[in-house]
Amino acid sequence: MKKLLLFPLLCLLALASDPKLAGGPYVVNVTSKTATIAWLVSDNDVLVQPPGNATALHSPAFHVEKTTLTGLTPNTRYDYEVPGAQGGKASFKTAATGQTPFRFVAYGDNRTRPAVHQRIVDGIVAHGVPDFVLQTGDLVADGDDSSLWTTFFNIEKDLLRQTAIFPALGNHEHNSREFYDIFQRDKPYYSFDWGNAHFAVIDSDIANVSKIESVRTAFWEEQTHWLEEDLKAHQSADYRFVAAHHPPFTAVASRQGDNPHITALTPMLDKYNITACFFGHDHNYQHYLKNGIHYLVSGGGGAPLYDVDKPPVGITVKVASVENFVAVGVEGKTAHVQVITIDGKVLDEFDLHATAK
């Protein structure tokens, strides 16, 4: 697609007339000067009839269209329009630089219960649309099912037409090709800067990397080497955040000890003075504090809730079995965190402080 030099008001013209959108538009890979606008275009709709009198299934055949924008101005809101998109114009903000204040939201595990997912999205919008969303994975119940992606974007439209999204790969995405196409990623791990903060997003779902153990091992070694080099290179950032799907600690008794590869990363996180980490996978809210690092689990985006029946001793700050999202406002050397439940109540609230060396 074409690369365009833009002004704050942006209008995208389609090459084909009146395309049928299956999802989006949405914005990914945002920096202070660049962004990618993408959308799903429906090529056709496949009707599948199960045996007997079961309800027919509709599955869209879609492809991803995108345009990459360069020459943008930092911390600037751009309006844009994709012809055929219901709801009119959309917008996004480029990344802030320096000490400019910014806001982001972290949450995940929206799969399975669309009505609950919708309430969480509505709550985020009502709380105040953030500059970007940090998604902790399991966006859909099955990443290989095309129809679920169109449902995801239909629910998220009022949010994603006003902000950018940075997703982590969850186990329910199944390492699907569609995840990479939709979010314009060639690898499942990446990093980005926003204001005075650095974010590293990694793939904790090594089980779906390959059926071959040696391939999984090689991938994890490659990724952890990349993560260490990335964190080492960004020690001057006031804040360093890490996001992944699987958490290193959990209050869900039946899941304790399930993610030893992530737990084994915690010495590295200590070494490079991480401010906070964001995870999903467990469908609830959990907050731990260990060696000065805040570990937050926000997997309450719509999936069925799990009990928090065995909080880890000595590090637990707050656990609750409730749908939620985490709102973070960064202003200079202090970041204020509010955890908001599905009914709009503040569940947890605390400050993070700059950890630059």
Residue 147 lies in a domain: yes
Q: What is the pLDDT of residue 86?
A: 65
As for how many domains the chain has, the answer is 1
Query: Is residue 38 left, alpha or beta, with left meaning phi > 0 and alpha meaning psi from -120 to 50?
Result: beta
Q: What is the pLDDT of residue 169?
A: 97
Residue 266 lies in a domain: yes
Strand 102-107 to strand 324-331: parallel, antiparallel, or no bridges (unpaired)? Answer: antiparallel
Measured CA to CA, the distance from residue 121 to residue 44 in angstroms comes to: 28
**Residue 175 belongs to domain spanning:** 96-353
Q: What is the pLDDT of residue 226?
A: 98
Q: What tokens were used for 83? A: 């012809």
- Partners of residue 328 on adjacent β-strands: 104, 337
DSSP-assigned letter for residue 206: G
Residue 124 lies in a domain: yes
Provide the CA 180 distance to its chain's centre, in angstroms. Answer: 13
Q: What are phi and psi of 78, to 5 degrees?
A: -115, 135
Residue 240 lies in a domain: yes
What does the pLDDT look like over 9-24, one tens digit per residue? 444 333 333 458 888 9
Number of Cβ within a 10 Å radius of residue 97: 16
Q: What tokens were used for 20? A: 């049928």
Q: What is the pLDDT of residue 51?
A: 83
Q: What are phi and psi of 339, to 5 degrees?
A: -105, 120
What does the pLDDT look like over 140-173, one tens digit per residue? 999 999 889 999 999 999 999 999 999 999 999 9
DSSP-assigned letter for residue 97: B
Residue 50 lies in a domain: no
Provide the CA 125 distance to its chain's centre, in angstroms. Answer: 16
**CATH number for position 190:** 3.60.21.10
User: Judging by beta carbons within 10 Å of its beta carbon (0-12, 13-18, 19+), is residue 118 exposed, middle or buried?
Assistant: middle
**Angle at alpha carbon of residue 225, lines to 220 and 230, rounded to 5°:** 125
Low-confidence residues of the chain: pLDDT under 50:
1-18
Residue 304 lies in a domain: yes
Residue 56 lies in a domain: no
Q: What tokens were used for 3? A: 């690369």
User: Judging by beta carbons within 10 Å of its beta carbon (0-12, 13-18, 19+), is residue 292 exposed, middle or buried?
Assistant: exposed
Residue 222 lies in a domain: yes
Whether the Cβ atoms of residue 174 and residue 45 lie closer than 8 Å to each other:
no
Q: Which residues contact 216 (CB under 8 A, 6 or more apart)?
A: 206, 207, 209, 210
Q: What is the pLDDT of residue 55?
A: 78
Give the residue carrying structure tokens 């000065």: 292
Q: What are phi and psi of 137, to 5 degrees?
A: 100, 170
Measured CA to CA, the distance from residue 85 to residue 180 in angstroms comes to: 22
Determine the 3-state secondary structure of 89 from DSSP.
coil
Q: What is the pLDDT of residue 98?
A: 95
